[in-house]
Amino acid sequence: TKEEKISVDEAKKVFVPVIGIMNSDCNLSTAEYPIPANDNSIASIDYILNELTSAYQVGLKTVKESLAEKDAVIVNKEEIKK
């Protein structure tokens, strides 16, 4: 639709990557991250959003654990120096 095109154009102007749930009648090249799916189906949208949310939470947990491990290593190195 016209509103969607305006949104995509505005995002591209400020270098924001576009993620889009797109039907087969859409031009997939308009989004950096197209997700081919039925964008009129509540079940499709719900499934995709749940998967994205889950992946984000896993990634966030992984980053936090990695940072905690690095902090523990730094603390241990400081204790060794004493």
Phi, psi of 18 (to 5 degrees): -100, 125
Which tokens hold the place of 61? 């947990």
Residue 81's pLDDT band, with cuts at 50, 70 and 90, is low
Residue 75's pLDDT band, with cuts at 50, 70 and 90, is low
CA distance 44 to 50: 10
Give Cα separations from 81 to 48, 64, 70, 71, 74 (angstroms): 50, 26, 17, 16, 11
Instruction: Report pLDDT digits (tens) over 9-67.
Output: 999 999 999 999 999 888 888 899 999 999 889 999 999 999 999 999 999 999 998 88
State the burial class of residue 18 (Cβ atoms within 10 Å of its Cβ: 0-12, 13-18, 19+). middle
Q: Is this structure's pTM higher than 0.75?
A: no
Q: What is the 8-class DSSP label of residue 33?
A: E
Q: What pLDDT, on the 0 to 100 scale, is given for residue 27?
A: 87
